[in-house]
Structure 1
Amino acid sequence: MKKLKKWQLFAAAGAAIAVIGTGSVMVFSHPTTPDQAITKETPMVQTVKDGSIASSVLLTGKVTANQEQYVYFDGTKGDLQSILVNVGDQVTAGQPIVQYSSTEAQTAYDAAVRAVNKADRQLNDLLTNGVTIDTTGDEEADAKSASQTQRTVDSQASDLRDAKSDAVDNMNKAKALLDATTVRSNTDGTVVEVNKDVSKSTTGTNQTLVHIVSNGNLQVKGELSEYNLANISEGQEVVLTSKVYPDKTWTGKISYVANYPTDAGQAGANAAGGTQGSGGAKYPFTVDITSEIGELKQGFSVNIEVKSSTQHPLVPVTSVMADGDTSYVWTVENGKAKKVKVTLGNADAENQEILSGLKKDAQVIVNPNEKLEDGKEIGKYDKID
Structure 2
Amino acid sequence: MTKENGKKLKKKWIIVPIIIFAVVAIVCALTQNLGKSKPVGIPVTAGAAEQMTLQQLVAVKGNVEGSEKAEIQSTQTAEVKAVYVDEGDRVNKGQLLAVLDSGDLNEQYSKAKITAAESKRKYDDAKLLYEQGALPQNDYLEAKATYESNVLTLDTYDFDKINITSPIAGTVTRINVTVGSNANNTSDNKSMFVIEDLQNLQLKVKVSEYDISKIKEGQTVTITSDVLGEGTASGVVSKIAPSGESKDNSGGSSGTSEKVIPVDINIDNTNKKLIAGVSAKAEILIQKKDNALAVPVDAILQDANDGTEYVFVIKNNKLKKIKVKTGIEGDFNIEVISDKLKSGDQVVLSPTFDLKSGMEVTISDPSAM
Same fold (TM over 0.5): yes
Asked if residue 192 in structure 1 is aligned to residue 173 in structure 2, the reply is yes
Please report the RMSD computed on the Cα atoms of aligned residues, expressed in angstroms: 4.2
Query: d(CA) in 2 for partners of 1:289 and 1:65?
Result: 10
Alignment check: 8 A CA contact 2:59 2:281 kept: yes
Alignment check: 8 A CA contact 2:219 2:285 kept: yes
CA pair 365-292 structure 1, distance change in 2 beyond 3 A = farther
Structure with bigger gyration radius: 2
**Which runs of 4 or more aligned residues in structure 1 lie more than 4 Å from their structure 2 counterparts after TM superposition?**
129-132, 311-314, 318-324, 351-354, 363-366
Query: d(CA) in 1 for partners of 2:180 and 2:249?
Result: 28
Number of corresponding residues: 281
TM-score w.r.t. length of structure 2: 0.60
Q: Which amino acid aligns with 1:62?
A: N
Q: Which residue of 48, 59, 65 maps to 1:9? A: 48
CA pair 93-320 structure 1, distance change in 2 beyond 3 A = closer
Alignment check: 8 A CA contact 1:97 1:185 kept: yes
Q: Which residue of 2 aligns with 1:90?
A: 90
Q: For each residue in 1:302-348, what CA deviation from the matched residue of structure 2 results, as whole angstroms up to 9, or x when unmatched? A: 11112227x9998332699967543479xxxxxxxxx8731344236
Three-state SS of the structure 1 residue aligned to 2:275 is coil
Alignment check: 8 A CA contact 1:240 1:252 kept: no
Asked if residue 315 in structure 1 is aligned to residue 259 in structure 2, the reply is no
Alignment check: 8 A CA contact 1:89 1:191 kept: yes
CA pair 185-238 structure 1, distance change in 2 beyond 3 A = same
Q: CA deviation at 1:72?
A: 4.0
1:152-301 matches, within 5 Å, as: 152-153=136-137, 155-174=138-157, 177-194=158-175, 195-196=177-178, 199-200=181-182, 203-204=185-186, 206-244=189-227, 245-257=229-241, 259-261=243-245, 264-265=248-249, 280-290=258-268, 292-301=270-279
Q: For each residue in 1:9-60, what CA deviation from the matched residue of structure 2 results, as whole angstroms up to 9, or x when unmatched? A: 24x35xx6xxxxxxxxxxxxxxxxxxxxxxxxxxxxxxxxxx99433x3100
Three-state SS of the structure 2 residue aligned to 1:222 is strand
Please list every run of 5 or more consecutive structure 2 residues that lacks an aligned counterpart in the other structure: 1-43, 252-256, 303-308, 313-321, 347-369
TM-score w.r.t. length of structure 1: 0.58
Alignment check: 8 A CA contact 2:98 2:163 kept: yes
Query: d(CA) in 1 for partners of 2:171 and 2:297?
Result: 55
Please list every run of 5 or more consecutive structure 1 residues that lacks an aligned counterpart in the other structure: 17-50, 133-145, 268-278, 330-338, 371-385
Query: d(CA) in 1 for partners of 2:181 and 2:240?
Result: 37
Q: Which amino acid aligns with 1:216?
A: Q
Q: CA deviation at 1:203?
A: 4.5
CA pair 319-183 structure 1, distance change in 2 beyond 3 A = closer
Query: d(CA) in 1 for partners of 2:67 and 2:101?
Result: 32
> What percentage of residue pairs aligned between the two structures are identical?
18
CA pair 98-366 structure 1, distance change in 2 beyond 3 A = farther
Query: d(CA) in 1 for partners of 2:342 and 2:183?
Result: 75
Three-state SS of the structure 1 residue aligned to 2:172 is strand
Q: Which residue of 2 aligns with 1:79?
A: 79
Q: CA deviation at 1:80?
A: 1.5
Asked if residue 70 in structure 1 is aligned to residue 46 in structure 2, the reply is no
Q: Which amino acid aligns with 1:171?
A: L
